[in-house]
Each structure stands twice: as structure tokens, then as C-alpha cells.
Amino acid sequence: MLTLPPFAKPLFRRLLPAAALVLLAGCAAPIPSGISDPYEAQNRAVHRGNVALDRSVVRPTSMVYGRTVPGPVRTGISNVASNLSLPAAVVNSLLQLRPGDAAQNTTRFLINTTIGLGGLLDPATPMGATQIETGFGETLHVWGVAEGNYVELPLIGPSTGRDAVGTVVDVALSPTVVLLRAERLRAAVGTGILSQLGRRFDRSNLVDPLLYESADSYAQSRQIYLDNRRFRLRRGADPDYFDPYEDPYDDPAAQ
């Protein structure tokens, strides 16, 4: 019998009616190969705004953060943000009827929260409890919800209709958001923002050419996102290409 971890019980009770849809859906939604982008004009306008924000705020801030904060400190902050995302991943794995994934992420969370000093360190990975990333967008996919149209969201970047809904649900119903008190929640959000700044700094040699040197950064980022997202939904090996917009500016609880 599967025993829910304490942090998952309140969320599971709230989402239990939706879990029944897993059985009704029967199988995961088919993964398309083409691009459905009927809102391209609006998406391109949002993309231009995202690039302008990156140029004026995000990139300069990430450069300052990356050059002034020592690497081990940045790694520790990213570890904490990653650890805070695990409870939501556990809930989504349960809704996807993947108890093995839920058990692995629960084990990782318990190890890193205890002997990993609240997630600052990552002893779970060398012990074999690697992180399995998932979210409500993948849960909807498992339930049979179609991908929907491509959309670029302000701050968040490339997405789809299904994943946009998943992002909202992940943030609203995350155990971190629901269970943490206000001051700890602010600290968790701050940790997530710093983690994303560190990621932007570490990947600047990949993001900068895409955004500022490619002939059509919108079309290129759209293709990279869709290819990478669909590959991940197939649960295959890691792709040999990089998605520069993967969960950017995401709340640390939303993974």
C-alpha cells in the first residue's frame, strides 16, 4: 500500500476529484510533430518584449549575480530551489499514476532536506535518487489533454495552451505555496529567482546567440521548445540540444 508523505496529503485531498480523470482518459494525448501557431503575430510581439526585458534587466542582473557570487554559493541556492520543487513533482507523479516516480522524488526530498541541510547540498544524487522533473502540464498530457496552440507568455517564454494551464495550476496548488508561511514563502520565491539568474548566467553562451544573433530568434526558440518538450513527454533520454526557455522565472514550487 502506498503511503503519502505528509506534505502531499493536503494537496492530494484537494486534487483527488481530478485524479479520477486519469482513469477516464485511458491514455496519454498523442504527441504532434508539426507547429500550430495561429497567434503568431501576438506571440512575436510578446517575444520582442521578452527579449527587450532580457537585454535591459535579466541578462545584466544575471551577469552581476554570476560574477559576484561564488560558484559554490550559486550551486547551493540552486539546490535549495530544486529541493523546494520536489513536493509538487511528487503530487503530479501521483496524479499521473506513477508511484515509482513519486517514491524516488520523495526519497530525494527527505535525504536532501535532512542530511543535505535543507537542500543546500545534494547527497541524494550520488546515492542514486536523481530528480524526476514533472509538472501539471505533463499530468494533463497523461490525462489525454491535447498540446494546444503554441504561445509565448510574458516573462515565462515559449509554452503551449496545455502547458500554460499547467503552469498556473502548479503555482496555485504547489505544496510550497499552500503550506509555507508568508515569510518562508517569500524566501522560497527569492531563492527560485536567484536560481534562475544563475541559470541564465551559466547558459549565456547559448542564450545570447539565440536571442541576439539568430536571423529569427522567435522561430528558432519556438522550434527548440517544442522539440525539447515533446521529447521529454516521451520520457526518452536527454536531448542533445538546449532549451534556453525551459521553465524560466518559474516559481521554485512549480516544478
Confidence of residue 9 (pLDDT cuts 50, 70, 90): low
Our count of domains for the chain comes to: 1
| Residue 224 near residue 241, CB atoms below 8 Å | yes
Confidence of residue 85 (pLDDT cuts 50, 70, 90): very high
- Max mean pLDDT among 24-33, 80-89, 239-248 falls in 80-89
Mean pLDDT of all residues in 155-176: 91
Look at residue 4 and tell me whether its pLDDT is greater than 60.
no
Residue 151 lies in a domain: yes
The pLDDT score that the predictor gives to residue 175 is: 76
Distance (Å, whole) CA 150 – CA 87 = 28
The pLDDT score that the predictor gives to residue 250 is: 46
Look at residue 100 and tell me whether its pLDDT is greater than 70.
yes
Look at residue 253 and tell me whether its pLDDT is greater than 90.
no
Over the chain, what is the mean pLDDT? 86
Residue 9 lies in a domain: no
Confidence of residue 44 (pLDDT cuts 50, 70, 90): very high
Residue 95 lies in a domain: yes
Cell numbers 524566501: residue: 187
Look at residue 5 and tell me whether its pLDDT is greater than 80.
no
Residue 176 lies in a domain: yes
The amino acid present at 17, given as its one-letter code, is: P
The pLDDT score that the predictor gives to residue 228 is: 95
pTM here?
0.80
The pLDDT score that the predictor gives to residue 212 is: 97
Residue 245 lies in a domain: no
Mean pLDDT of all residues in 148-172: 95
Residue 2 lies in a domain: no
Residue 31 lies in a domain: no
Look at residue 210 and tell me whether its pLDDT is greater than 60.
yes
Residue 11 lies in a domain: no
The pLDDT score that the predictor gives to residue 185 is: 80
Q: Which domain holds residue 123?
A: 59-233
The pLDDT score that the predictor gives to residue 137 is: 97
Look at residue 141 and tell me whether its pLDDT is greater than 90.
yes
Mean pLDDT of all residues in 102-116: 97
